[in-house]
Amino acid sequence: MKHYRHLFSSKQKHQAKPRFKWRAGMANFLLSQALLWGGGAAIAQTESTAPTESTETLDYGELLQDIRQNQVDKFILDPETNTAQVTLRGQTEEEAQTIQLLNNNQELLAALRENNVDFEVVPSQDHSVAIAIFTNLLLFGILIGGLVLIIRRSASMQNNAMNFGRSKARFQMEAETGIMFKDVAGVEEAKEELAEVVTFLKEPNKFTAIGAKIPRGMLLIGPPGTGKTLLAKAIAGEAGVPFFSISGSEFVEMFVGVGASRVRDLFRKAQENAPCLVFIDEIDAVGRQRGAGIGGGNDEREQTLNQLLTEMDGFEGNSGIIVIAATNRPDVLDQALLRPGRFDRQVTVDYPDRLGRLAILEVHAQDKKVAEDVDLEAIARRTPGFSGADLANLLNEAAIFTARRRKEAITSSEINDAIDRVVAGMEGTALTDGKSKRLIAYHEVGHAIVGTILKDHDPLQKVTIIPRGRAQGLTWFTPNEEQGLTTKAQFRAQIAVALGGRAAEDIVFGYDEITSGASQDIQMLTNIARQMVTKFGMSELGHFALETNRGEVFLRNDWFGERPEYSEAIAQRIDLKVREIINECYETAKQIIRDNRQLVDRLVDRLIEEETIEGEDFSRLVNEALGQTIDLQKTASVV
């Protein structure tokens, strides 16, 4: 009763619940099951051995008298239970009566012989002994099984405690990644550097003979999806040596010292299997710069990093262990991790260029049915800034569109839809409101015509009013990958084009009818204008940086805020200059819309009719209307 009062008492309902003791609970469960089985079997045995009662019964004396008077028609003896089934004259077998016999039945047997009674001996199938034996064995087995379970659970808990500090690295004696260097495309410079690692592992004497040392570590740096992990798999596949792979997050645990123990265990196993490769993916999870957190304490992550630094710099010469790590955040890594002797080489794996994208598309198109008229080179030109993962996803989306449309092969139509899907999202429902549709068309044509007329802007790729994702309309431009640097005129052209949509709304519908569709454009152009003033020195404020690097995001600077290194007067002049640049570019965009108002109206009508205008068609219409060729050089790179 105390237990139930404790559970249901309103005064103690907020107290902590007692912890369940699983061992005691398991023992109680096993005991109750054993008693249940044993009790059930005993009851069954008792019921099976109890004599069957009938409505009319004979005693032993009456039975002898009936036999001597020839009233017994049939007598069936059961020696197992020492009972008899007696059928009197005029009765059927169903009406037979059961009588319990004496231990000594010589007189009864003599009477049966003298009166020639039909006599049979039929032993019954009595399983009482077997049931008793089975019940005892079952009870014994349950108890033994429960003890074994408890012992194994205790041993498992002890082993888990002992294995807690062991490395979780996946180990392959002969790495069967299924990936070779021929399967990796678009990163030829990185492949060339990493190919030396394979040579180091296969022919170390070739380098040690002339005094060269095998590099201890190689750091793959690059944005997500560019193929860093794929390169590590290719190295393992080419080298054919033992391969350890682990993620940086698998080192760090909530218990202090576990991460360092796992690092020691990993490198101990690597020493036992040298020469080998150790690949640490996302090393920034454990290699982040020390002292960045609040208080700067030597926490679990820092202890793990300290042990990693010690292990990497503590190898004996030419031990044959090469550590390869990958990260997309090299700016947050500890400097001690990047010095020679630990990561001797840093290989940058950047976004592929046009030729690299073409090579990647050719690799991923090998296992897909692509129509002969699909131009992979044209796709490569249309996808600047795509990573290898993006291109693989692009062809996969195209294959999904093909299967959905029940076509035999991927065509240019599926490729175009896949590009739009990857860049902007799923195609939405077309607008039915005529006013909203025309307003969006003017907005997008405003972007497109300003970008087409300004010679310093990138060429137009496509303009559409088909909703995708959260956007009601989209205008794409193809950036020039070969340029590398951006001029002041190009920055101003980007701002003017971003304001082209708002300028068209302002001129055509009036200032009171401008919409929120330019919110992202305004955010982007404000960032460009501020960088022109504070970072690139493209204003009258001077050729010096007014924007300092924020450093790493993890609490060191941004958490507490950082005071600018300039006065309030300079900050006010920065704001005024940013506003001046934006206003000048806005006037440029509005002037282009005013000067070409009739052309804008015709382009809007066509866009509403066709919903999408390709860049070449749009530029041709503008050139025909203006009577001159404005952007031959820009359209030369447009697909």
Report how many domains make up the chain.
4
Highest mean pLDDT pick, 46-55, 288-297, 455-464: 455-464
Query: What is the C-alpha to C-alpha distance for residues 14 and 199, in angstroms, rounded to an integer?
Result: 67
pLDDT of residue 369: 92
3-state secondary structure of 281: strand
pLDDT of residue 68: 82
Amino acid sitting at position 128? S
Q: Is residue 461 in some structural domain?
A: yes
Please work out, in degrees rounded to the nearest 5, the angle formed at the alpha carbon of residue 229 by the alpha carbons of 223 and 230: 110
Q: Is residue 149 in some structural domain?
A: no
Determine whether 444 is an active site residue: yes
Cis peptide preceding 275, ω within 30 of 0: yes
Cα 545 to chain centroid, rounded: 41
Greater pLDDT, 375 or 119: 375
Q: Is residue 268 in some structural domain?
A: yes
Per-residue burial over 518-552, b if 16 or more Cβ lie within 10 Å, else e, is beebeeebbebbbebbbeeebbebeeeebeeeeeb
What is the DSSP code string of 138-175?
Answer: HHHHHHHHHHHHHHHHHHHHHHHHHHTTS---EEESS-
Give the CATH number, domain containing residue 78.
3.30.720.210
| pLDDT (tens digit per residue) in 516-547 | 889 999 999 999 999 999 999 998 888 877 77
Amino acid sitting at position 591? Q
Query: What is the C-alpha to C-alpha distance for residues 576 and 585, in angstroms, rounded to an integer?
Result: 14
Q: Is residue 359 in some structural domain?
A: yes
My answer on whether 394 and 333 are in the same domain is no
My answer on whether 401 and 450 are in the same domain is no
Which residue has 């080998």 as its token pair? 276
Q: Is residue 53 in some structural domain?
A: no
Query: What is the C-alpha to C-alpha distance for residues 631 and 460, in angstroms, rounded to an integer?
Result: 10
Query: What is the C-alpha to C-alpha distance for residues 130 and 278, in angstroms, rounded to an integer?
Result: 63
| pLDDT (tens digit per residue) in 371-398 | 988 999 999 988 988 999 999 999 999 9
Does position 262 have pLDDT exceeding 70, yes or no?
yes
My answer on whether 344 and 366 are in the same domain is no
Give the CATH number, domain containing residue 450.
1.20.58.760
My answer on whether 340 and 450 are in the same domain is no
Q: Which of 316, 444, 482, 562 is catalytic?
A: 444
My answer on whether 73 and 117 are in the same domain is yes
> Domain range for residue 404?
354-424
Does the model's pTM come out above 0.85? no
Burial of 53 (0-12, 13-18, 19+ CB in 10 A): exposed
